[in-house]
Amino acid sequence: MAGLRNVFFTGIVLFFLAQRISSNSNLPKEINVFDAVGLGSKVFPGVSSTTGQNNKSPAYLFTKQTNHMIASQNAFEEVDKLIHNSSDFIVSAYAKLMAKEIYKNPIVSINSKDGHQLYFLLQISGNQRGTGLEIVVTVQTKGGSLKRFQVSSSRSLDYTKWHKIAVRIQEAESLLRVYVDDSMINVFSFKYTPQPYPKDAQLRLGQVFEVYSENTGEITSRFRGDLQDVKFVKGSPLSDCSRIAKCQCTDVVGKKDCVVDGLRYADGKRWTKDKCNICHCKWGQVMCTHTCQVCKDNGQTYMEGETWKSSNDSCYTCKCEDGKVTCSPPVCAKPDCSGKSGVLVTLKGQCCPICKEDQCRGTGKVFKCGCDVTCSNFHDFKCQSCTESCFCPEGRVLNDQGKCMASARCGCLHQGKRYKPLDQFSDNCQFCLCVGGKMNCYKWC
């Protein structure tokens, strides 16, 4: 009797395992949101074709005149299946904002039909200082509450140019990662338990639909700018392993064990890969989690052991160690100043000092005690009090761009009007010729 029970129990387990494998293998690998709403086959007000980041797929310009852009029921069900049955999915898009339309630009959203509930939102905004992006991800968590994640890109990022925006949610690892141009800018640890969406929920492109006033749903924000390749994609643990732990994983349905660096791990086994990575074998695939604290510098996120140039002083090299940023000054060779004063100077934009007498190399100037001589003053100029710096050599003067040139190439300023070298004119019985920065006039009558 006990043997019969074991056989029955084993059969039940195998049945559910088979169902899980079948369900996972039937998940869509990719849903193109442009296709989902019918872009290309329908005409939408406020939407027009534009030149994309690449020529492989269509791109569109969205304005504030766009109307409802709702995915088909079949497309929504595919997205719903991917979100709720996958332990790893990605939402990505190429985006470019308008210079004056920078606030609250939703890329995709999922909401209830009446607008009372928001389930998912990926939205970007340009920073008001002119560069840099703010990325907001809102997801529904257990119990129906909303969790909001906000991330800032590098301050130097120009949001009026194309950038790839992506958010990756890994349920098994309890992580949410945000990427810009395929570089991870932040990672959040949180327990994501997706709640079932209503059958009539709506997937929308480039807009948020919610109850705003009088208990009536309406479009409250629209994307204004260019979009391309807006997609929901099934995540691949293999790519995650290669970035962090250089794993080699089996990816064959029915094989639950994992092989990493020649070692076999049973399904469900966890192990420490290195100081900062814990790996987990799940259904034949290895997923590794970065466990060390990350470091931040000027809004940019760095992993344990990563090095970068300081945002405050590019001459300093910084490193992330145990969640703390340590920055070191540059290592410079001592310059040979034999036969010179021995005084060292560090030029603007440089990290290492040089002999002060060498600071003019490559500028066309010489180091001496002198004064600036220009086209306007070189005729009768006398240097009363010299200073040590880089000055033009004898016979050359500074032009308007701060470069040295021959004095013979100087133009002339005569009676409020500028003349080029060798320009001439006749006026009131006199002939005038611009030579060497001076207008020479001769009477002839």
7 vs 124 pLDDT, higher one: 124
**pLDDT of 226 over the 90 cut:** yes
Cα dihedral sign, 244-246-250-251: positive
**pLDDT of 76 over the 80 cut:** yes
Half-sphere exposure of 170 (CA within 13 A, CB side): 21
Find the range with the poorest average confidence among 231-245, 338-352, 383-397.
Answer: 231-245
Q: Where are the domains of the chain?
A: 26-234, 258-290, 295-328, 354-407, 412-443
- Residue 173 pairs with which residues in a beta bridge? none
Q: What are phi and psi of 79, to 5 degrees?
A: -65, -45
Place of tokens 């939407």: 47
Amino acid at 317: T
- Rounded to whole angstroms, the Cα distance separating 151 from 133 reads 8
Q: Give 239's pLDDT tier (boundaries 50, 70, 90).
A: very low
- Secondary structure of residue 10 in the 3-state scheme: helix
Amino acid at 268: G
pLDDT of amino acid 25: 56
Query: Measured in whole angstroms, how far is the alpha carbon of residue 297 from the centre of its chain?
Result: 15
* Domain 354-407 annotated CATH 3.30.420.40: no
Q: What is the mean pLDDT of residues 43-66?
A: 92
pLDDT digits (tens, 9 = 90+) for 78-129: 999 998 888 789 999 999 999 877 889 999 999 999 999 999 999 999 987 7
- Rounded to whole angstroms, the Cα distance separating 157 from 81 reads 35
**pLDDT of 2 over the 80 cut:** no
pLDDT of amino acid 145: 85
- Rounded to whole angstroms, the Cα distance separating 365 from 42 reads 65
**pLDDT of 8 over the 80 cut:** no
- Secondary structure of residue 393 in the 3-state scheme: coil
- Cβ atoms within 10 Å, residue 145: 9
284 vs 30 pLDDT, higher one: 30
CB 317 within 8 A of CB 284: no
Find the range with the poorest average confidence among 18-27, 176-185, 296-305.
Answer: 18-27
β-bridge pairing 317-321 and 324-328: antiparallel
Query: DSSP code of 42?
Result: B
Which stretches does DSSP call E strand in 329-423? 344-345, 354-355, 366-370, 387-391, 396-398, 404-406, 412-414, 417-419
- Cβ atoms within 10 Å, residue 320: 22
- Cβ atoms within 10 Å, residue 158: 14
pLDDT, mean over the chain: 82
155 vs 256 pLDDT, higher one: 155
- Cβ atoms within 10 Å, residue 118: 17
Class of domain 258-290: mainly beta
CATH of range 26-234; options 3.40.1010.10, 2.60.120.200, 2.30.30.90, 3.40.470.10: 2.60.120.200
pLDDT of amino acid 67: 92
**pLDDT of 5 over the 70 cut:** no
CB 90 within 8 A of CB 120: no
Q: What is the mean pLDDT of residues 188-196?
A: 75
β-bridge pairing 118-126 and 105-111: antiparallel
Q: Give 261's pLDDT tier (boundaries 50, 70, 90).
A: low
pLDDT of amino acid 247: 38
pLDDT of amino acid 24: 54
pLDDT digits (tens, 9 = 90+) for 393-438: 887 888 877 788 888 888 888 888 889 889 999 888 889 999 888 8
Residue (of 10, 23, 1) closest to 234 by Cα position? 23
Query: DSSP code of 143?
Result: G
- Rounded to whole angstroms, the Cα distance separating 71 from 196 reads 18
- Rounded to whole angstroms, the Cα distance separating 179 from 239 reads 14
The pTM score is: 0.52
- Rounded to whole angstroms, the Cα distance separating 20 from 132 reads 42
- Rounded to whole angstroms, the Cα distance separating 256 from 14 reads 13
Q: Are domains 26-234 and 354-407 of this chain identical in fold?
A: no
- Cβ atoms within 10 Å, residue 393: 12
**pLDDT of 70 over the 50 cut:** yes
pLDDT of amino acid 61: 95
CB 32 within 8 A of CB 205: no
Q: Give 358's pLDDT tier (boundaries 50, 70, 90).
A: confident
- Rounded to whole angstroms, the Cα distance separating 329 from 341 reads 25
Amino acid at 92: S
